[in-house]
Structure 1
Amino acid sequence: MTTIVRIFFLFGLLPISLSAAEGMPRVVLSEDGKDFLLDGTDQRFYVWGVNYDHDAEGRLIEDYWHDHWESVEEDFAEIKDLGANVVRVHLQVAKFMNSADEPNQRNLQKLSELVTLAEKTGLYLKLTGLGCYHKQDVPAWYDELAEAERWQVQANFWKAIASTCKNSPAIFCYDLMNEPVLAGGKNPGAWLVGEPLGGKYFVQRITTDMAGRDSKEVAAAWVKKLTDAIREVDSRTLITVGVIPWAHVWPNAKPVFYSPEVSGPLDFVSVHFYPKAGQVDKAIAALKVYDVGKPLVIEEFFPLKCSQEEAEDFLAKARPVTDGLTSFYWGVTPQQYEAQQTMEGAILAKWLSFFQGRSPQSMPQ
């Protein structure tokens, strides 16, 4: 290390996204399990990331990474320039499983190349799996499976992903599924829930039949099934699951996936927050429900339902109880948004500029 880098490291000011040339330590839990640390150091790691869930045209990464890899490389460079240290990538079942037990080797190879790109760029990957975002791509054979067989496919998916990625320190974590829910609600026999957002189904059931079981029993069995599959091949990488914070909807709601009965195999908490206008304090109260003694990351955040000023207020109040934030990046820089000269472009440019100015380099540790 150079002298100035050593000084920065000693005083806790070192940018968390280390370059490949300097080495990339794995992110681990502190001894008490309450903080993220860079392996081999006492340096705390604060997640400052983006969801790279689709591009500006709404395409998922597997839709274009074979033919337009240069776009992925450009986007990762732009994400690094924004001051981010984590990229949340969403992987689809249909792209990684040819059948119930046969992984797609071509896409696993491309995932391996993405890991190498992350290492070179100095960005950590948060791999979110089991996506069925494009309903038209979901194989009929997968949709027709009963719960036990579907869970086995999901376990096979994660075993293949973990086998591919386990040796890289650039893998921050495996995120079992985006916004899993249990049975009930409208159209209870369908695996995908609700109306599509931007043509994508982000919410998915893990069962369509409770069969006399309670919510925590089902959630615990599902979490154990998938984490056991990962731990067969990878004993080190952190594991989480990104959930809808129902305490934000119903103030008296208690966590299911992050209850003591379910969360044992999960290393940290991931929740999604979109505060409403005039309700910042309500959102903070809901956030604190998920402060359960594990690192707490706001895995999705954007001023979708509130002003930028309220979003900044929420983040300032959330900072003492959180260990990270993940917003969004869709392949368009703040400068490119500004050049659009539209209201939407101005809003997005302002938000990304704020995000860039609050990167780990400038945030207190």
Structure 2
Amino acid sequence: MAIVTFSPINNSLAHPMNDSRCQIERVSRALIALVITLAFTASSHADEPLKRLRVSDDGRMFVTDDSEKPFAIWGVNYDHDESGRLLDEYWIDEWDKVVEDFEEIKQLGANCVRIHLQIGLYMESPEKASAAQAKQLERLLKLADSKQLYLDITGLACYHKSNIPDWLNELSEADRWKAQAMFWSEVSNVCSGSPVVFCYDLMNEPILPGEKPESDWLAGELGGKFFVQRLALDRMGRSREQIAEAWVNQMVDAIREQDSDTMITVGVIPWVFAFGGGKPLFYSPTVGKHLDFVSVHFYPEKGKIDHALKSLKAYEVGKPLVVEEMFPMKSGIDELTTFVRQSRPHVDGWISFYWGATADELRAKEDGGIAEAITAKWLNTFQELSSEIRSQSDR
């Protein structure tokens, strides 16, 4: 976290001499939220069903089925709640919480929610999905439709090792890919025909092995979660591009057998940004030929916004471009806001994070610290930006 950047905010929350100022700020934010809510209520045609999103005829942007008007994605990752639990760990027993959180996401001005499904919970075996999990996914489609929120469904997650079954770890690469393809077949079978689904994201931040064989499918532990997953452990004479192309094609084929319309993407780490050069592997002409748009995860660094914007242009490959993850983790909120605004000529969607607690709830936490203060202020900023971003498109 950029603690120095946000320490003035945290101090203003804690110092008793600033109580009046805080009250004024809270009232101002409440008024802004009310204006945004009323504006969206007036323009969202809440009684109308969501219209399917697609790539425009010229391939440059998102539009609805019946229009060529640009549609900007403005959403949040709902990857875990305030206690760190993933959605599919509580959406059966605590459905009311999911409903409440989706309403809070709607009030932020979002029009899209990115959810993350764990293969170890969704699949009972390599060949069969859990009926209970499939039922909840169907239920989530109806909830999202009622809230006028599109879904970015990201799959094959192995974020919590405790939810990875032995059978998955024991599979060979070929059989692991078959199980992953079956996951997508089962998920797309539930979702086929639903305009609520914005896209299927095949996997969060897949990576390829280097010259030496690997021993673990997962990499990059962060806060007890493993967000990064390898597609193979051994290249076995194949190039990284050949592995990625074969895997993407197998996953896409599984989806297209069930769902011929919903867009497909892969959320990638911006290695071009990290290494300062190179070309995107998953969005090369061969690997990405069956992917409908580009999804990349950007966390701009303090003082390096221009570098982030320049790196982002490397992902302009003639398809719509979505910043599928962003948060002021390495920069200040003002800098991230600048990144969003200055990337608008090149980007068709931005997705941040919502972890089950509103800005007011975060500020009210007795044990809250700098992280809660940053998140609370960013949620307010996100809400304020929503009308600006969505006014350029929407239904």
The TM tier, using the shorter chain, reads over 0.9
Query: Could you tell me whether the CA contact under 8 Å between 2:72 and 2:390 is conserved in 1?
Result: no
Tell me what 1:253 maps to.
Answer: 278
CA RMSD, Structure 1 to Structure 2 (Å)? 1.8
Tell me what 1:85 maps to.
Answer: 111
Change (3 A) 1:18 1:207: farther
Instruction: Give unmatched runs, 5+ long, in structure 2.
Output: 1-38
Residue pairs, 1:171-210, within 5 angstroms: 171-184=197-210, 188-194=214-220, 196-210=221-235
| Equivalent of residue 349 in structure 1, options 373, 376, 381 | 376
| Max Rg structure | 2
User: 1:189-220 deviations in whole A, cap 9, x for unaligned?
Assistant: 210012x2121100000011111111111111
Residue pairs, 1:208-223, within 5 angstroms: 208-223=233-248
- Please give the secondary structure, in 2, of the residue aligned with 1:256: coil
| Equivalent of residue 146 in structure 1, options 172, 178, 187 | 172
| Equivalent of residue 231 in structure 1, options 256, 276, 299 | 256
Tell me what 1:158 maps to.
Answer: 184
Offset at residue 186 of structure 1 (A):
9.2
User: Please, what TM-score do these two structures have when normalized by structure 2?
Assistant: 0.86
Give the distance between the partners of 1:139 and 1:23, measured in 2 at CA: 38
Tell me what 1:334 maps to.
Answer: 359
Instruction: Give unmatched runs, 5+ long, in structure 1.
Output: 1-12
Change (3 A) 1:260 1:60: same
Task: Point out which structure has higher relative CO (alpha carbons under 8 A, 6+ apart).
Answer: 2
Give the distance between the partners of 2:198 and 2:182, measured in 1 at CA: 20
**Higher alpha-carbon deviation: 251-260 or 20-29:** 20-29
Give the letter aligned to residue 105 of structure 1: A
Which structure carries more helix by proportion?
2
Query: Could you tell me whether the CA contact under 8 Å between 1:275 and 1:306 is conserved in 2?
Result: yes
Give the letter aligned to residue 302 of structure 2: A
Query: Could you tell me whether the CA contact under 8 Å between 2:74 and 2:390 is conserved in 1?
Result: no
Tell me what 1:275 maps to.
Answer: 300
Change (3 A) 1:73 1:55: same
Query: Could you tell me whether the CA contact under 8 Å between 1:46 and 1:360 is conserved in 2?
Result: no
| Equivalent of residue 95 in structure 1, options 106, 121, 134 | 121
**Higher alpha-carbon deviation: 47-56 or 279-288:** 279-288
Offset at residue 185 of structure 1 (A):
8.4
Query: Could you tell me whether the CA contact under 8 Å between 2:213 and 2:235 is conserved in 1?
Result: no
Query: Could you tell me whether the CA contact under 8 Å between 1:216 and 1:262 is conserved in 2?
Result: yes
Tell me what 1:8 maps to.
Answer: none
User: Please, what TM-score do these two structures have when normalized by structure 1?
Assistant: 0.93
Tell me what 1:359 maps to.
Answer: 386
Tell me what 2:32 maps to.
Answer: none
Give the distance between the partners of 1:362 and 1:258, measured in 2 at CA: 26
Offset at residue 342 of structure 1 (A):
3.6
Aligned length: 352
User: 1:94-135 deviations in whole A, cap 9, x for unaligned?
Assistant: 111111101111100110000010011110000000000001
Query: Could you tell me whether the CA contact under 8 Å between 1:124 and 1:171 is conserved in 2?
Result: yes
| Equivalent of residue 294 in structure 1, options 319, 322, 325 | 319
